[in-house]
Amino acid sequence: MKTLEELYKEAVADETLKKAWSEALANGKAAEFLKANGCDATEEEAKAYLAKKNNGEISDEELDNVAGGGCGTDTKNCLYCRNPITGKEVSGMHEGCYKRYKEEQNAKKQQTLL
């Protein structure tokens, strides 16, 4: 079985998995999601873990450490849209992608506060 940390790292690297986890939490189906993804943690444990992880956000340091860059070349791919970064980079993303990511995180935070 996977730990929450292992599943979290997978979600950071996989936008589809990250979105599915977020939707499961929003729809009260986190327990099913965790089980389906090989994690034996409870919904309460997952919520506590995510709350502890920078208030549900992925830290800039974690984003910088996510695989998916240029594979040894000078080209680095955006962690949000996966396209090559040309121009200003913020935490491994295009400046506009980083702005959208932060807006999504703030919206999710507002949902969890309701």
> What's residue 34's pLDDT?
93
Task: Pull the structure tokens for residue 106.
Answer: 């703030």
The answer to whether 99 touches 47, Cβ cutoff 8 Å, is no
Of 16-20, 72-76, 98-102, minimum mean pLDDT range: 72-76
Residue 60 resides in a domain? no
Residue 61 resides in a domain? no
Could you tell me if 77 and 43 lie in one domain? no
Tens digits of residue pLDDT in 27-49:
889 899 999 999 999 888 888 88
Across 1-8, average pLDDT: 89
Could you tell me if 48 and 93 lie in one domain? no
Could you tell me if 6 and 46 lie in one domain? yes
Number of structural domains the chain divides into: 2
Residue 14 has pLDDT above 80, yes or no: yes
Domain of residue 72 covers: 68-114
Cα angle: 82, vertex 46, 112; to 5 degrees: 80
The answer to whether 73 touches 85, Cβ cutoff 8 Å, is no
pTM: 0.48
Could you tell me if 78 and 47 lie in one domain? no
Tens digits of residue pLDDT in 36-92:
999 999 888 888 888 777 555 555 555 555 544 444 445 678 888 888 887 788 888
Secondary structure (3-state) at 105: helix
